[in-house]
Structure formats: C-alpha cells, structure tokens
Amino acid sequence: MNSLGFIRLQIQQIHRGGFSVVLKKLFRVVWYSPRIPLYVLAFPVVLLIRLLRPFVTIRLGYLHSSRIGHFAANTEQYLCELDAGINHPSGRFLDFFYFGETVCNKQLSKMWGRLLSIWPAWLLAPIDHINQLFGGWQLHVAGVNAQHDRDVHNLLDRIPPHLEFTEGELKFGEDCLLSMGIPPDSPYVCLIVRDSAYLESQQTGDWSYHNYRDCNVQNFALAAQA
C-alpha cells in the first residue's frame, strides 16, 4: 500500500468507526512515537537499497498475518509464483518479510519462518514505509501476487504444497489425537465454521458486512456425532 492509499484507508476507518477509532489511532501515534528514530535511519538504508539495484534487487514484503486466509493463501501464492518464474525480477534478488501487528496463528508463522526470511517488523516496516515515499518503490516490494490470493495461473494444481510439518510436529499431533481416543490413522472430516468474534476483537471499524458468512457450529452437531 502506498502513502496515499494508507491515508485513504485511515479516513475510511474513521468514517466507519467514529470517535472510538480516532482514540485508537491517537493511542497508536503515542505508541509509535519512540520509533521515529528508526524511520529517520531508514532513509539511508533505502538509499543503499536503490544503489544496489543494478547488482541485486532487495525487496521487502508485508505478510498479512492477522487473517488466516490471507496469511495462508497469499503467502503460498507468492512461493508458487516464484517456482513458476512469475512476478519477480529478472536478475538476482533477495526478499525479506515481516509480520503485521497481529499474528493469527503461531504454528503457521513458525512454518513460514522455515521457508522465508522473516525479520522483526520494528526493523523492516520503517524501511518499507520510507521506500514507498519515492518513485520506483514497486520494484522493491515483495509478496504482491498476480491476483493476491486468487490462483489465476492454476499453480496450486501444478506445484506441490510448500508447507510441511516436521517429524516432531507430526508426533505431537498424533499424541494429541491419542489423548482424545483417536488413532492417528483414523479418517476425519474438517468443519470450517466462521463467526465474527475474532474479527471484532482484532480489527477497527465496522466489519458486520462479513456476518453473512457466519454459521452456528451447533448446526453440525448431529452430523459430527453420527
């Protein structure tokens, strides 16, 4: 997101959420004020990144870690596009990522950390934000897929999944199943049942327009117990 888009987003959120959102944003300004020196130091880093571009393109990427759908799908799409030779510089490049303020799933963040170069947000976010103040910033942004989380190139059918559990994680999962009386090789059915509690607790503004996607998990009780 560029600077103008960021400003528009703030205005939209204030318009939807009212005075409570204004207070939250003022709190964030106070909270982030100690980080101002980091933004000052980011200027020479951005200059160095630009000077290195003839030799190596350094790209910075923000992982949408607050929402599990985007956290999983957008990141997988990025890796699939790399494997397919899509949406990356023609020469040598290095991609570095950082999480958002909220990480919705610690296990998923750990697994992405085994595949991506993920750095602290307090370090990379200022550099990323300052980079977007200057022309040509798009060349130094990673993780912006062809169609975000939409598989327009049908890569998910052609490229094996990038996420894998370690032996220790598989053993932990099997032990959890056994503790519930479920043998590890038993067949199972996954239910995807959404409610609005998480989004309301993590996001500012009015997100009720997502409520049509909600469902009551008790509706599946008879099927689950059959």
pLDDT per residue over 42-73, tens digit each? 999 999 999 999 999 999 999 999 989 999 99
pLDDT at 43: 94
CA distance 189 to 177: 14
CA 6 to each of CA 69, 95, 161: distance values in angstroms, whole numbers, following the listed order: 22, 23, 33
pLDDT per residue over 87-113, tens digit each? 888 899 999 999 988 899 999 999 999
Cβ-contact 143, 74 below 8 angstroms: yes
| Whole-model pTM over 0.75 | yes
List of long-range contacts for 13-17, beta carbons under 8 Å, 24+ apart: 13/204, 13/205, 16/205, 16/206, 17/204, 17/205, 17/206
